[in-house]
């Protein structure tokens, strides 16, 4: 299945005090580490940023496109919505741009689960991972409804769509320390 990857990069990095996407881990920026995992999995990668943010200097890649949130200052739900709207493919793998330990095997497993649902989302330790999930474009009207109501939590879309949860034991097969969710 062809897949779009959406990297959410619109945060203001207020906790860190500087642009977290350029912070280096193992000699490469967080964004470079994320792209290294996503590029082999995706036919396109959309990096969704806050309006007015210039793309970070990086090696040009034909699959990577920078784009702005369609509704600024509204959080990660708008980032997911913006990416889904712009995606070429029905399914989009959505991750945060500051997740340096993404697990390719786990992401491939999630991609294989996506064909007959609207969302594939890990649930680890009783917590959902909406910024490490796969969304279908069928979620767009539901996101639009949430936005119109002023609701900005991604998880509020879940009761409205068909979700496959990836439970902790299944995640453990690929990443027993759950480093893939670290940001």
pTM of the model: 0.91
Whether residue 93 contacts residue 111, with contact meaning beta carbons closer than 8 Å, is answered with: yes
Q: What is the pLDDT of residues 108-158, one digit of tens each?
A: 999 999 999 999 999 999 999 999 999 999 999 999 999 999 999 999 999
Distances in whole angstroms, Cα of residue 78 to Cα of each of 20, 23, 68, 151, 180 = 20, 24, 10, 11, 23
* Cα 100 versus chain centre, distance: 13
Question: And the tokens for 4?
Answer: 């779009």
Distances in whole angstroms, Cα of residue 176 to Cα of each of 4, 106, 121, 168 = 26, 11, 17, 9
Q: What is the pLDDT of residues 34-84, one digit of tens each?
A: 999 999 999 999 999 887 766 665 666 789 998 988 877 668 999 999 999
Inform me whether the pLDDT recorded for 18 exceeds 60. Answer: no
Whether residue 102 contacts residue 95, with contact meaning beta carbons closer than 8 Å, is answered with: yes
Angle between helices 30-38 and 104-113 (to 10 degrees): 50
């Amino acid at each position: 299945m062809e897949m779009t990857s959406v990297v959410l990069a619109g945060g203001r990095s207020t906790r860190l005090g500087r642009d977290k996407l350029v912070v280096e881990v193992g000699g490469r920026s967080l964004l470079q580490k994320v792209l290294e995992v996503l590029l082999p999995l995706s036919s396109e990668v959309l990096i969704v940023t806050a309006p007015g943010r210039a793309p970070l200097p990086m090696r040009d890649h034909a699959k990577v496109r920078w784009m702005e949130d369609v509704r600024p200052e509204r959080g990660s739900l708008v980032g997911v919505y913006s990416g889904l709207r712009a995606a070429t493919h029905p399914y989009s793998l959505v991750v945060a741009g500051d997740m340096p330990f993404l697990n390719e095997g786990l992401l491939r497993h999630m991609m294989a689960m996506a064909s007959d649902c609207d969302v594939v989302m890990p649930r680890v330790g009783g917590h959902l991972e909406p910024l490490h999930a796969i969304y279908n474009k069928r979620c767009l009207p539901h996101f639009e409804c949430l936005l119109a109501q002023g609701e900005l939590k991604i998880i509020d879309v879940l009761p409205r769509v068909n979700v496959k949860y990836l439970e902790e034991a299944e995640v453990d097969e690929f990443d027993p320390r759950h480093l893939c969710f670290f940001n």
